[in-house]
Protein backbone atom coordinates (compact mmCIF):
# COMPACT_ATOMS: atom_id res chain seq x y z
CA UNK A 1 0.00 0.00 0.00
CA UNK A 2 1.41 3.37 -1.05
CA UNK A 3 1.86 5.83 1.77
CA UNK A 4 1.80 9.57 1.36
CA UNK A 5 2.56 12.58 3.49
CA UNK A 6 0.20 15.49 2.93
CA UNK A 7 1.34 19.08 3.41
CA UNK A 8 -1.48 21.58 3.87
CA UNK A 9 -0.82 25.28 3.34
CA UNK A 10 -3.33 27.71 4.83
CA UNK A 11 -3.71 31.41 4.04
CA UNK A 12 -4.27 33.74 6.96
CA UNK A 13 -7.36 35.13 5.20
CA UNK A 14 -9.29 35.00 1.96
CA UNK A 15 -8.15 37.27 -0.83
CA UNK A 16 -9.86 38.69 -3.88
CA UNK A 17 -6.87 37.94 -6.06
CA UNK A 18 -5.49 34.58 -7.16
CA UNK A 19 -2.53 33.55 -5.05
CA UNK A 20 0.26 31.13 -5.85
CA UNK A 21 3.54 29.87 -4.44
CA UNK A 22 6.05 27.17 -5.29
CA UNK A 23 6.84 24.15 -3.11
CA UNK A 24 9.59 21.55 -3.07
CA UNK A 25 10.81 18.80 -0.77
CA UNK A 26 14.22 18.65 0.98
CA UNK A 27 15.82 15.52 2.40
CA UNK A 28 17.14 15.39 5.94
CA UNK A 29 17.73 11.97 7.53
CA UNK A 30 15.37 10.66 4.85
CA UNK A 31 17.09 10.48 1.48
CA UNK A 32 15.28 12.04 -1.45
CA UNK A 33 14.51 9.50 -4.14
CA UNK A 34 15.18 6.54 -1.80
CA UNK A 35 12.99 7.20 1.19
CA UNK A 36 10.47 9.53 -0.42
CA UNK A 37 9.66 10.70 -3.93
CA UNK A 38 10.81 14.30 -4.35
CA UNK A 39 8.04 16.58 -5.44
CA UNK A 40 7.90 20.21 -6.52
CA UNK A 41 5.30 22.37 -8.11
CA UNK A 42 3.02 25.32 -7.66
CA UNK A 43 0.09 25.73 -5.27
CA UNK A 44 -2.64 27.88 -6.79
CA UNK A 45 -5.31 29.50 -4.62
CA UNK A 46 -8.40 30.79 -6.39
CA UNK A 47 -9.85 34.07 -5.12
CA UNK A 48 -11.49 33.39 -1.76
CA UNK A 49 -9.72 30.01 -1.31
CA UNK A 50 -7.68 29.74 1.91
CA UNK A 51 -6.33 26.17 1.91
CA UNK A 52 -4.44 23.95 -0.50
CA UNK A 53 -2.19 20.92 -0.20
CA UNK A 54 0.31 18.67 -1.94
CA UNK A 55 1.27 15.01 -1.36
CA UNK A 56 4.67 13.41 -0.98
CA UNK A 57 4.83 9.65 -1.75
CA UNK A 58 6.64 7.72 1.00
CA UNK A 59 8.97 4.92 -0.12
CA UNK A 60 10.91 4.01 3.01
CA UNK A 61 10.26 1.02 5.21
CA UNK A 62 12.63 1.30 8.15
CA UNK A 63 13.02 0.53 11.84
CA UNK A 64 13.88 4.13 12.72
CA UNK A 65 12.55 7.66 12.29
CA UNK A 66 13.43 9.38 9.01
CA UNK A 67 12.81 13.06 8.37
CA UNK A 68 12.39 15.34 5.39
CA UNK A 69 10.93 18.80 4.97
CA UNK A 70 9.22 20.98 2.40
CA UNK A 71 9.85 24.60 1.60
CA UNK A 72 7.78 27.31 -0.01
CA UNK A 73 9.06 30.00 -2.36
CA UNK A 74 8.13 32.58 -5.01
CA UNK A 75 4.82 33.79 -3.52
CA UNK A 76 2.50 35.75 -5.81
CA UNK A 77 0.02 38.28 -4.35
CA UNK A 78 0.98 37.22 -0.80
CA UNK A 79 3.80 37.20 1.69
CA UNK A 80 5.11 34.01 3.26
CA UNK A 81 5.23 34.05 7.05
CA UNK A 82 7.81 31.25 6.79
CA UNK A 83 9.49 29.45 3.92
CA UNK A 84 9.43 26.21 5.90
CA UNK A 85 6.33 24.16 5.29
CA UNK A 86 7.27 21.77 8.11
CA UNK A 87 9.26 18.64 8.86
CA UNK A 88 7.71 15.26 8.13
CA UNK A 89 8.76 12.22 10.17
CA UNK A 90 8.47 8.82 8.52
CA UNK A 91 7.68 6.58 11.49
CA UNK A 92 9.27 3.15 11.91
CA UNK A 93 7.37 0.21 10.43
CA UNK A 94 6.05 -1.78 13.40
CA UNK A 95 6.31 -5.14 11.66
CA UNK A 96 9.90 -4.44 10.64
CA UNK A 97 10.78 -3.27 14.15
CA UNK A 98 9.51 -6.61 15.43
CA UNK A 99 11.63 -8.47 12.87
CA UNK A 100 14.73 -6.48 13.80
CA UNK A 101 14.12 -7.11 17.50
CA UNK A 102 13.80 -10.83 16.80
CA UNK A 103 17.03 -10.78 14.78
CA UNK A 104 18.88 -8.94 17.54
CA UNK A 105 17.64 -11.39 20.16
CA UNK A 106 18.61 -14.32 17.94
CA UNK A 107 22.10 -12.86 17.45
CA UNK A 108 22.52 -12.49 21.21
CA UNK A 109 21.26 -16.04 21.76
CA UNK A 110 23.69 -17.34 19.16
CA UNK A 111 26.60 -15.55 20.82
CA UNK A 112 25.58 -16.99 24.19
CA UNK A 113 25.32 -20.49 22.70
CA UNK A 114 28.75 -20.17 21.10
CA UNK A 115 30.18 -19.02 24.43
CA UNK A 116 28.56 -21.95 26.23
CA UNK A 117 30.01 -24.35 23.65
CA UNK A 118 33.45 -22.82 24.05
CA UNK A 119 33.22 -23.14 27.84
CA UNK A 120 32.09 -26.76 27.47
CA UNK A 121 35.04 -27.48 25.18
CA UNK A 122 37.47 -26.02 27.71
CA UNK A 123 35.80 -27.98 30.51
CA UNK A 124 35.99 -31.19 28.46
CA UNK A 125 39.71 -30.69 27.87
CA UNK A 126 40.20 -30.14 31.58
CA UNK A 127 38.16 -33.26 32.41
CA UNK A 128 40.18 -35.32 29.93
CA UNK A 129 43.40 -34.08 31.50
CA UNK A 130 42.10 -34.90 34.98
CA UNK A 131 41.13 -38.38 33.82
CA UNK A 132 44.59 -38.96 32.34
CA UNK A 133 46.20 -37.74 35.56
CA UNK A 134 43.96 -40.00 37.63
CA UNK A 135 44.94 -42.98 35.46
CA UNK A 136 48.62 -42.13 35.88
CA UNK A 137 48.16 -41.87 39.63
CA UNK A 138 46.38 -45.24 39.68
CA UNK A 139 49.17 -46.85 37.66
CA UNK A 140 51.75 -45.48 40.09
CA UNK A 141 49.68 -46.53 43.11
CA UNK A 142 49.27 -50.08 41.78
CA UNK A 143 52.99 -50.29 41.05
CA UNK A 144 53.77 -49.10 44.58
CA UNK A 145 51.29 -51.61 46.02
CA UNK A 146 52.90 -54.43 44.04
CA UNK A 147 56.33 -53.39 45.28
CA UNK A 148 55.20 -53.17 48.90
CA UNK A 149 53.39 -56.52 48.70
CA UNK A 150 56.56 -58.07 47.28
CA UNK A 151 58.62 -56.48 50.06
CA UNK A 152 56.19 -57.75 52.70
CA UNK A 153 56.39 -61.26 51.22
CA UNK A 154 60.20 -61.11 51.27
CA UNK A 155 60.25 -59.93 54.88
CA UNK A 156 57.74 -62.67 55.76
CA UNK A 157 60.08 -65.25 54.20
CA UNK A 158 63.03 -63.81 56.12
CA UNK A 159 61.06 -63.80 59.36
CA UNK A 160 59.94 -67.37 58.76
CA UNK A 161 63.53 -68.43 58.10
CA UNK A 162 64.68 -66.73 61.28
CA UNK A 163 61.80 -68.35 63.17
CA UNK A 164 63.00 -71.76 61.99
CA UNK A 165 66.54 -70.99 63.01
CA UNK A 166 65.42 -69.71 66.38
CA UNK A 167 63.47 -72.89 67.06
CA UNK A 168 66.47 -75.01 66.13
CA UNK A 169 68.75 -73.07 68.50
CA UNK A 170 66.20 -73.12 71.29
CA UNK A 171 66.06 -76.91 71.08
CA UNK A 172 69.85 -77.06 70.97
CA UNK A 173 70.14 -74.72 73.95
CA UNK A 174 67.72 -76.84 75.90
CA UNK A 175 69.97 -79.82 75.30
CA UNK A 176 73.25 -77.99 75.75
CA UNK A 177 73.51 -74.75 77.72
CA UNK A 178 76.54 -73.81 75.63
CA UNK A 179 74.12 -72.82 72.85
CA UNK A 180 72.13 -70.50 75.10
CA UNK A 181 73.74 -67.31 73.78
CA UNK A 182 73.28 -68.38 70.17
CA UNK A 183 69.64 -69.22 70.86
CA UNK A 184 69.09 -65.79 72.43
CA UNK A 185 70.67 -64.09 69.40
CA UNK A 186 68.51 -66.18 67.05
CA UNK A 187 65.45 -65.13 69.03
CA UNK A 188 66.50 -61.46 68.79
CA UNK A 189 67.07 -61.82 65.05
CA UNK A 190 63.61 -63.33 64.63
CA UNK A 191 61.94 -60.60 66.67
CA UNK A 192 63.65 -57.93 64.56
CA UNK A 193 62.66 -59.70 61.31
CA UNK A 194 59.07 -60.10 62.53
CA UNK A 195 58.91 -56.40 63.39
CA UNK A 196 60.27 -55.49 59.96
CA UNK A 197 57.71 -57.79 58.29
CA UNK A 198 54.92 -56.19 60.35
CA UNK A 199 56.05 -52.72 59.22
CA UNK A 200 56.13 -53.97 55.63
CA UNK A 201 52.55 -55.20 55.95
CA UNK A 202 51.48 -51.85 57.40
CA UNK A 203 53.10 -50.10 54.44
CA UNK A 204 51.42 -52.52 52.04
CA UNK A 205 48.05 -51.89 53.70
CA UNK A 206 48.52 -48.15 53.31
CA UNK A 207 49.50 -48.66 49.67
CA UNK A 208 46.37 -50.74 49.15
CA UNK A 209 44.26 -47.88 50.55
CA UNK A 210 46.02 -45.41 48.27
CA UNK A 211 45.44 -47.67 45.27
CA UNK A 212 41.76 -48.08 46.17
CA UNK A 213 41.36 -44.30 46.47
CA UNK A 214 43.16 -43.85 43.14
CA UNK A 215 40.82 -46.35 41.52
CA UNK A 216 37.80 -44.48 42.90
CA UNK A 217 39.30 -41.22 41.62
CA UNK A 218 39.63 -42.75 38.14
CA UNK A 219 35.97 -43.80 38.21
CA UNK A 220 34.89 -40.29 39.25
CA UNK A 221 37.15 -38.69 36.65
CA UNK A 222 35.69 -40.94 33.97
CA UNK A 223 32.14 -39.92 34.89
CA UNK A 224 33.18 -36.27 34.79
CA UNK A 225 34.90 -36.76 31.42
CA UNK A 226 31.85 -38.48 29.93
CA UNK A 227 29.56 -35.74 31.23
CA UNK A 228 31.88 -33.06 29.85
CA UNK A 229 32.03 -34.78 26.45
CA UNK A 230 28.23 -35.01 26.40
CA UNK A 231 28.02 -31.30 27.23
CA UNK A 232 30.28 -30.52 24.25
CA UNK A 233 27.96 -32.46 21.95
CA UNK A 234 24.84 -30.84 23.39
CA UNK A 235 26.19 -27.29 23.31
CA UNK A 236 27.51 -27.80 19.77
CA UNK A 237 24.04 -28.77 18.58
CA UNK A 238 22.50 -25.84 20.44
CA UNK A 239 25.05 -23.43 18.97
CA UNK A 240 24.44 -24.75 15.44
CA UNK A 241 20.69 -24.30 15.84
CA UNK A 242 21.14 -20.82 17.31
CA UNK A 243 23.41 -19.76 14.43
CA UNK A 244 20.86 -21.03 11.93
CA UNK A 245 18.07 -19.12 13.66
CA UNK A 246 20.21 -15.98 13.81
CA UNK A 247 20.99 -16.21 10.10
CA UNK A 248 17.37 -16.75 9.07
CA UNK A 249 15.99 -13.97 11.26
CA UNK A 250 18.70 -11.61 10.06
CA UNK A 251 17.85 -12.37 6.44
CA UNK A 252 14.13 -11.86 7.10
CA UNK A 253 14.75 -8.51 8.78
CA UNK A 254 17.21 -7.32 6.12
CA UNK A 255 14.72 -8.13 3.37
CA UNK A 256 12.12 -5.87 4.97
CA UNK A 257 14.05 -2.62 4.51
CA UNK A 258 13.18 -0.27 1.69
CA UNK A 259 15.08 2.93 1.05
CA UNK A 260 18.37 4.27 2.31
CA UNK A 261 18.50 2.45 5.64
CA UNK A 262 19.72 -1.09 6.15
CA UNK A 263 19.70 -3.61 8.96
CA UNK A 264 21.96 -2.74 11.89
CA UNK A 265 22.40 -5.47 14.53
**Average pLDDT for runs of 10 along the chain of length 265:** 91 95 97 97 97 97 97 96 94 96 98 98 98 98 97 96 95 93 95 97 97 98 98 98 98 96 95
- The predicted pLDDT at position 23 comes to 98
CATH for 97-255 is 1.10.287
Write 159-162 long-range contacts (CB < 8 A, 24+). 159/190, 159/193, 159/194, 159/196, 159/197, 161/193, 162/186, 162/189, 162/190, 162/193, 162/194
Is residue 42 within 8 Å of 82, Cβ to Cβ?
no
CATH for 3-92 is 2.60.40.2030
Question: pTM to 2 decimals?
Answer: 0.77
Q: Where are the domains of the chain?
A: 3-92, 97-255
**Alpha helix (H) ranges present in the chain?**
94-175, 180-255
- The predicted pLDDT at position 1 comes to 62
Amino acid sequence: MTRTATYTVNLSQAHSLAISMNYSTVGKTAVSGSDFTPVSGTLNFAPGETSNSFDVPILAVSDRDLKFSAKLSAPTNCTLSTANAGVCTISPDNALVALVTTAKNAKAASAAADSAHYDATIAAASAASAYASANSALTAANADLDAKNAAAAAYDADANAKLGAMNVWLVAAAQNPAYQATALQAQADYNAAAATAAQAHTAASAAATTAANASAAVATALVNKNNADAAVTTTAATADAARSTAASTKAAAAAGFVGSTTLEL
